[in-house]
Every structure is written in structure tokens, then in C-alpha cells.
A and B are shown apart, each in its own frame.
Chain A
Amino acid sequence: MSDPSAGTSPAGGAPVRFEHVTKRYEVREKGPGAVNDLTLDIPAGKICVLVGPSGCGKTTSLKMVNRLIEPTSGRILIDGHDISRQDPIALRRGIGYVIQQTGLFPHQNVGDNVAVVPRLLGWDVKRRRERTDELLTLVGLDPARYRNRYPSQLSGGERQRVGVARALAADPPVMLMDEPFGAVDPIVRERLQNEFLRLQEQLAKTILFVTHDIDEAIKMGDLVAVMERGGVLAQFGSPDDILASPASDFVARFVGADRGLKRLSLTRVREVQLIRAVTARPGDSAAEARGRIQADPFPYLLLVDESDRPIGWLDQDEVPATGRLDEQMAIPMSPLLDRRTTLKDALSMMLEADVQAGIVVDRAGRAQGILTVEAIATALRNGGAPEHPLPSGTAHA
């Protein structure tokens, strides 16, 4: 579908680099927020979230990338090229742009809205039509149903999807998103965020994403740049870095007193050291099982069925000394956890069931190990999520 002759880059992202970018406003000039010596390195294909209170210059920083605002000093490079040497109109046509309230054109139907940039680029009708249908399908809207509707006939969530489709139309390597999910209710926002993250897995665009919501920043960002008033970069790193070791009091306050809890939602069960369960099957020798469980630090025997699916627990002191194990002896409890469950959800399930441990199972439901509340606490102490893939970005303060 993408035809290189029309000047669109193939899918995928381009690195974006801010080099000592400063934007000052005259005292009397009313500007959206100054930026002070911002240096950021955003690798290709990553989502970098700019987050901070209002007036911290996050939106200003974003708009300097498509030159809606020109920096006072410093430069911005996309794919190694200084954008100040490019024609701003051509530059903008090559960058996806999604804003709050979406900025859809009320007088154009969905199809025309999505085809805005292709039209500016002079694509022919057939190609625009194909691309529009492809994009609407991509964002989960049936082209036949939605193509001819006007924005006023869409729900908030549908509008945001069209906004994303429109930004993707010319397959830009870089996308700028300014509070793109700000105007919808929390449930729809959550769904749009998840869908967008899934989409990004295939698209691998380089995305600058502005929000004032630290939870959204942590969820969406591969990298998070926390900015404070006056346009100063307070910290730049992975979400886990920022939660685990805030660089300043400001960052600590901004991420919130519950940052420990927030980290739980970043870490998944598979990233934590699980305890190997001592297991036995109904009909096994009780004496033998008793021996094994009493030699193990974890005081409960896990009874599993023929296919290793958990049946229930047996306290080590209640395992009979003789005879055979019986299904009736087991206490059926404990939540079953998937390896992809976040620690936050896992902990919540354990609290709800009023137990200290959950059983981790694989897709077939076979017991893989045990996750305890204690293990979660240890994981947080040790820095939780293992990978910190991304370097650089200087904190100026």
C-alpha cells in the first residue's frame, strides 16, 4: 500500500533529538509556557511522554517539533536533520499530529478528515480512498459505516480514533500527540490507551506524547520526561526509573506518595522470582508428601490434578502421616494468576481472597509457581522491572 514515490516514508520511526532547546517569552507576551535548555534523545520507535503541571512547557516543546513554535535557541533534529532548515509546511505534512478535542474538521466527513494530509500531498482519489479505508479499519472503525459521517455524529471515543487515523494517514515516522485521550471518560480512555499501545507495537512510530496525568505517562511511555514550571527538565528515564528513584523532591511529589503502588502496575508476574510449589496428586502417598513439604520453607502443599491444574492447599501440619492424599483434604482458594498479570492486579486479587499467595498458571492452567505478598515486596525493593533499555537525556536543574 505505501508507495515510496509519493514521498511517504515506510512504516517505522525516526529518532528525535532536542539539543539545548530554549524558548523564552517576553515578559508581557503571553505564551503557553517557556522551555529552558531542554536536551532529550528519543530513539526511533519509542513513545516519549512529556509530563508536568500546567505551564511547564510540555506543549511548547511538542509544538517546536513541527515548528508551530520556533525555539529561541537550540535545535531539534529528526532523523539527524535539523528541522529549522526544512520548509515548515513540508515538515508538518510529514509529522502526525493529534490534539485534544481532536481538531477534526466539523465540515468534512470522516473519510475526508482522514485524507487531509494525503490531499495536501496531492494523492489521487483512488489512493486516498484506499488509504482511508485501511486506516479506519486499523483504528477499529468499519469504513462502510463511518466514512460518510460527520464528526458531530460520532462519540468522543470514535472522534479520538478518527484523530489517530488522520495523524497516521501519510505514514509519518514521527507523531506528536497532545493530550490525545484527554477529552473522553476514564473507561473509554483506558480502552483507547490499550488499543493505541497495541497499534504502536506494529507501527513502531517515534511518538512524543504530552499529558498532565502521571498515570497516563507511566502507562504510555517507554520514556518519561518530567518537566517542572519554567520549562526545566526534572527527570528523564523509563517509567520505572522515575517511580523507583525520583531525581528530586519535585519529581517525588509529582509522581505522588503512592509511587510504590504505581510501580506495581508496571511490573508483571513473569518478572518476579516465583517460589517453586511442592505439589502432590490425590492418591499419592501422604507420608512421602509430608516428608517433602516439611523439608520446604513454604508451609503449604499444593494439590494438583492429573494435568497439573491446582486443586487446593494442604497445611503441612495437616498432611496425614499415613494413607493416601485425598482431594477432600484440600482448601480450595488462592487466586490464579497469569504470567502477564501486573503485580498491582495480583496483589489486589490476593487481598480480595484474603490470602498471602497466588498460584501462577500457564495458558493450559498448569501450576507454574507461587507468588507471595512477600515476593512482591522484595521485587519492589530490588527495583522490580528488569530492563531499563534507554539511555541519556540530561536533567538540567
Chain B
Amino acid sequence: MREGDPLIRWDWLADHIDDIWMLALEHIWLTALAVSIGFAIAFCLSLVIARERRAYPPITAVTGVLYTIPSLALFAILVPFTGLSVLTAEIALVSYTLLILVRNIVAGLDGVPSEVREAADGMGYTPWRRLWSVELPLALPVIIAGLRIATVTTIGLVTVSALIGQGGLGRFIEDGLQRFFPTMYITGAVLSVILAVVADGLFVALLRIATPWSRARAGSG
């Protein structure tokens, strides 16, 4: 940063609008991929736990250890095997979502009132149908709460993966810091934050649409 330069050089932003756009999309893509894969794995693990409760402690122990490994360290461990690739980034990102998602899916299913479950069994629901049409809808608020946290966390972590050549908007932060160019790293940081806020808002909206019953208030007649 040279003496007298403004903090934000708008002309630079205008010149690089295509790059900004591309990196933002990459950021969204890396996040969406990580959260989707993480959710798929966490969902299967949760079904295992729902069937066999004894699986819960070991599963949380393993996902808990994954969660505590510093991201930089994890990238360092993986690079010799998977290189500076999207795969490396995704393995780390997915790992971090698991603990949060498993805990919330299990907590959501646990939160289904036992009399509702009993009523479903007593009326002749098969176990799968009970899961899909009774338990999952009722667990949705807690599951979506988990998705919100996992997504916002992942959007933050994606920036770190810039160190292995991925990173979406994180690349702006990384490059900008190295070149002492505030316009770049501020752009990267601000847009990451905006992404996180928008993603969070989308989940809130999704929850509202998906659970009309929770808006129904008592005493309407």
C-alpha cells in the first residue's frame, strides 16, 4: 500500500468485477459441496445412532477429534496425499461439519415427543414412514439450526483453504495481505461476511416455509 492511496480503490474493483464474481461463486460452490456431503454423511451416521444408541459416543468422539484439529494442520497432513486440490480442501471442510450436524440431527430426532412416536407406531406406521413423515419434519428446526452453524462455519473455513490454492474469496484475502493491498483483502473479507449472512438468512427463510405449524399460534378462535 503506497502512501496516499485510498483504503478502497474503486477503479480496481470495477476492473476486477469478473474475478470477484468468479471467486464468490467458487466460494459458494466449495461451501455447498462441503455442507451437502457433510450432511449426507452426518444423516447416515444419525440414522445409525437412532437405531443403535451405543454408536453415539464413538461417533461423537471421532467427529469431535476431527473438529478439534486446526484447519491449517489438517491441510498440512493431507497435502502429501491429495495435493493442492479441491479434494484436500473438501476433506477438511466436510470433517468440520460432521460434529455439529450429527449432534443436531440426533438432538432433533430425540426432541420428537415420545407420545407422538408412540401414537405413530400404534396407528401402524412402518419405521421408515414414521421417520420420513413424522420424526424428520418435527426435527427440522433443530436440524436446520445445525445447518446454519455448519454453513456459516464452512464459509469462514473456505477462506483458509486459500493456503492450498483453493479458497474462493479467501484468495483475495491471502493475496491482498501478501501485497499489502487493502482493497483486495477487505473485498474478500467483506464479501465472505455477506455470504455468511445471506446463507444464514436463507436457512431462516427455509425453516419458516418448511414449518408452517410453528407459526400457528394458540388461541386463534
Contacts and interface: CB of A to CB of B under 8 A. Distances in A.
A101 interface: yes
Given A101-B115, A105-B138, 18 more contacts: A66-B122, A91-B124, A93-B123, A97-B122, A99-B118, A104-B116, A105-B116, A105-B120, A105-B134, A107-B134, A107-B137, A107-B213, A109-B213, A117-B124, A150-B216, A152-B218, A153-B218, A166-B123
A127 interface: no
A113 to B, nearest CB: 9
Nearest to A96: B123
CB-based closest 8 A-B pairs = A103-B119, A93-B124, A92-B124, A97-B122, A150-B216, A103-B115, A150-B213, A101-B115
A215 to B, nearest CB: 24
Interface in A177-225: none
Given A152-B218, A153-B219, A68 B121 contact: yes
Interface in A324-343: none
Residue from A66, A97, A107, A108 having most chain B Cβ neighbours under 10 A: A107
Contacts of A176: 122
Interface in B112-134: 113, 115-116, 118-126, 129, 134
A225 B178 CA distance: 84
Given A66-B122, A93-B123, A153-B219, A100 B213 contact: no
24 contacts: A92-B121, A92-B122, A92-B124, A93-B124, A99-B119, A99-B122, A100-B115, A101-B113, A101-B115, A102-B115, A103-B113, A105-B119, A105-B120, A105-B138, A106-B213, A116-B123, A145-B221, A149-B216, A149-B221, A152-B216, A153-B217, A153-B218, A153-B220, A176-B122
Contacts of B137: 107
A89 interface: yes
Interface centre among B122, B213, B219 (most CB of A within 10 A): B122
Chain A interface residue count: which class?
20 to 34
Interface string A119-154: 010000000000000000000000001000110110
B138 A106 contact: yes
Interface of B: 113, 115-116, 118-126, 129, 134, 137-138, 211, 213, 216-221
A301 B151 CA distance: 91
B119 A97 contact: yes
Contacts of A108: 213
B211 A149 contact: no
Nearest to B112: A106
A120 B221 contact: no
A90 B115 CA distance: 20
Contacts of A152: 213, 216-218
Contacts of B121: 68, 92
A176 B119 CA distance: 11
B112 to A, nearest CB: 9
Nearest to A101: B115
Nearest to A117: B123
A164 to B, nearest CB: 13
B217 A92 contact: no
A100 B115 CA distance: 8
A117 B123 CA distance: 7
Nearest to A89: B124
B118 A68 contact: yes
Contacts of B113: 101, 103, 106
B122 A104 contact: no
Contacts of A105: 116, 119-120, 134, 138
A286 B116 CA distance: 74
A66 B116 CA distance: 16
Contacts of A153: 216-221
B123 A97 contact: yes
B207 to A, nearest CB: 13
Nearest to B136: A107
A213 to B, nearest CB: 19
Contacts of B216: 149-150, 152-153
A248 B126 CA distance: 43
A388 B115 CA distance: 37
A67 B22 CA distance: 59
A92 B130 CA distance: 14
A128 to B, nearest CB: 14
A104 B122 CA distance: 12
Contacts of B219: 153
A104 B115 CA distance: 8
Contacts of B125: 89, 120
B119 A104 contact: yes
Contacts of B123: 92-93, 97, 116-117, 120, 166
A120 B129 CA distance: 10
